[in-house]
Chain A
């Protein structure tokens, strides 16, 4: 079982509430989502493992068991081409769960006309494998859901 941590502080709202069907319909996979606090802050690793992909707006950490978790910071934020995001780690780094990966400002994303809602997805997981999902207020690094 993998415990997946909240990458950002805010309100856990569930994946279905994400204003992008790619995530809300779990097309990428099951998971959860967080409406982040509107203040600059660090997005952290949701699990321990290796950062196999690091974009400014999204990253994937793969654990030793091969399970990968995607963190996507905001909706359509690929269009920002990294502006407003600062990388705190390097692709290929080994990280502990809760270790900072990206510094960003959800308020700035929102001011630019995009949703800052953060999706956290268990990649290649079956729908029933995600459970124990937390709802409501969470801090960065708090438990978000279990991947059985």
Chain B
């Protein structure tokens, strides 16, 4: 299992453009990708409904995970999107 732990820095949190870009990137993966925040079960990073409902605010930390060969490059891209100011 590969994972990245990042703090969301966007003023709007993981909503609007950051959320849409995050999900559009995740859906390109041929394997499952999940995103979780503390105390909340992981949800699919490929679902805009799930990501918006997770309601990640600025300053909150999330864990993005995937269990597949080649997941590292995708997780790096997702981590960069999520941590961009």
What residues on A are CB-neighbors of B55 within 8 Å? 53
CA distance A124 to B16 in the complex (A): 14
Interface residues on A, range: 10 to 19
What residues on A are CB-neighbors of B47 within 8 Å? 123-124
Instruction: Decide if the interface of chain B is mainly helix, strand, loop or mixed.
Output: helix
Number of interface residues of B (CB under 8 A): 14
Residues B48-78 near A (CB distance < 8 A): 48-49, 52-53, 55
A70 lies within 8 A of chain B by Cβ: yes
Tally of contacts, chain A with chain B, CB under 8 A: 34
CA distance A34 to B35 in the complex (A): 32
B6 lies within 8 A of chain A by Cβ: no
CA distance A123 to B51 in the complex (A): 10
- Residues of chain B having any CB pair with chain A under 8 Å: 12, 15-17, 19-21, 24, 47-49, 52-53, 55
By Cβ-Cβ distance, the 5 closest A-B pairs, closest first, are A27-B20, A68-B49, A123-B49, A22-B17, A52-B53
